[in-house]
Structure 1
């Protein structure tokens, strides 16, 4: 059963072609076999009416034509079904890997990617950082301006973070207004450079809001906590330290970053 979705995903046209050939063989084989037997029987008769053979051949040709049409229609239906299942399968797969609001990795996908990065840095001796951040005072934003503005703040934060990060860095929406980033680099100061770049960018990041016909710009600020991989770490222990660092940033007045080694 596990192989069926792969066929539908990768080769729906091939699946339709195989269906066409199989149906054609199954439907035509009995007709051709019986026709051959009848021809042998007629030829064994000393005197037989050739008109009967001609009439039977006409019937056989009609049967073969109908078999061809039937096989073609079935193959078209199977191909269309395969394309539909392919689309549905990809949508389900996308939902299982990516966040619906931002298009970023979701929590589960990020955890899978991060586990692979841990294995990689064990071999390469690179530095691996885990960064967790959230939007300051997000609940008052939702309560004051509504969930649509809250969603817009999350989307703007996500797109801005993507622009600030390199292709080698992974980012996910971890839940609510929280985001999580992994950084792999040979430079031990790489994470602090990126974190400072993020803070500087969000010092000037606003979104337009309106309340009681009063139009204004809403400032988006972030609090950040991050940590460095140790040889005995796993994702859970690094997340706990990064989360603790984030808490320290919040207690320190927000709009700042804290590093815990």
Structure 2
């Protein structure tokens, strides 16, 4: 269910409850057999209160609906987009790129040695490694790029209309950030990341699934040649 549909359902349900409550109050007033003047004044204030409360209700539940939608597309550990959020945003960007004929880079990254960290140092330390990796990605890429944790030790980044279209330059920049983090952090392990990248060519349009599969393959090719235990 999208945000607008959720908001409409909440508003409709809430307005039914409010309207029913107002009707019951008005029926109760009528049964008291008050003077016509008193009834008019009470009715007037009831409708004023109805309007104020209804607006408050709508604003409150719109905010709640927005928060629910945000939570559904956000990774709770790192604060990045989750898989669902990434795929939704990626599809939107792909439609835009087809019209504007712009280039996009898709990076698929894997945090090396997460299982070793979890098994040896505990899952709390593993969570910290994931959070650190998310921070490194955010420092490397622009705020306009789409960064997500796809689950487990996997991350993806959509670099939209990048200033540098050579993936190797960006991957080297990312590795430099990882190295800088390792030099500063006081950990019993070093962050290590394997990265693959695929390019969206506007002259040869491709789907997000194909771009991800291509980047994933290149990432695993890099991982094969690396030492995966991060305690060195």
TM range (shorter): 0.7 to 0.9
Q: Quote the residue 1:223 is aligned against.
A: 194
- Residue by residue over 1:204-261, the C-alpha shift from the partner in whole angstroms, topping out at 9 and shown as x without a partner, is 32444xxxxxxx5431111111112251521111111111111111101158xxxxxx
Aligned partner (choices 185, 200, 203) of residue 161 of structure 2: 185
1:115 aligns with 2:86: no
Shift of 1:79: 4.2
C-alpha distance in 2 between matches for 1:76 and 1:198? 52
Aligned partner (choices 4, 7, 10) of residue 5 of structure 1: 7
SS of 1:95's equivalent in the other structure is helix
Shift of 1:75: 4.4
Q: Quote the residue 1:99 is aligned against.
A: 75
Contact residue 169 and residue 181 of structure 1 kept, 8 A: yes
**Moved beyond 6 Å, runs of 4+:** none
Q: Quote the residue 1:158 is aligned against.
A: 134
Q: Structure 2, unaligned stretches of length 5 or more?
A: none
CA, structure 1 residues 148+83, in 2 after alignment: closer, same or farther (shift >3 Å)?
Answer: farther
1:253 aligns with 2:226: yes
C-alpha distance in 2 between matches for 1:130 and 1:245? 12
SS of 1:218's equivalent in the other structure is coil
CA, structure 1 residues 189+5, in 2 after alignment: closer, same or farther (shift >3 Å)?
Answer: closer
C-alpha distance in 1 between matches for 2:39 and 2:192? 75
Shift of 1:123: 3.6
Contact residue 105 and residue 162 of structure 2 kept, 8 A: no
C-alpha distance in 1 between matches for 2:54 and 2:147? 39
Q: Structure 1, unaligned stretches of length 5 or more?
A: 32-55, 209-215, 256-261
Contact residue 126 and residue 186 of structure 1 kept, 8 A: no
TM-score of the pair, normalised by structure 2 = 0.74
CA, structure 1 residues 125+187, in 2 after alignment: closer, same or farther (shift >3 Å)?
Answer: farther
SS of 1:205's equivalent in the other structure is helix
Contact residue 127 and residue 187 of structure 1 kept, 8 A: no
Aligned-residue RMSD, C-alpha: 3.5
Q: Which has the higher strand share?
A: 1
Within 5 Å, which residues of 2 pair with 1:122-137?
Answer: 122-137=98-113
Shift of 1:85: 2.2
Which protein shows a greater Rg?
1
C-alpha distance in 2 between matches for 1:82 and 1:123? 37
Aligned partner (choices 227, 237, 254) of residue 210 of structure 2: 237
SS of 2:93's equivalent in the other structure is helix
Contact residue 229 and residue 238 of structure 1 kept, 8 A: yes
Contact residue 8 and residue 83 of structure 1 kept, 8 A: no
Within 5 Å, which residues of 2 pair with 1:7-26?
Answer: none
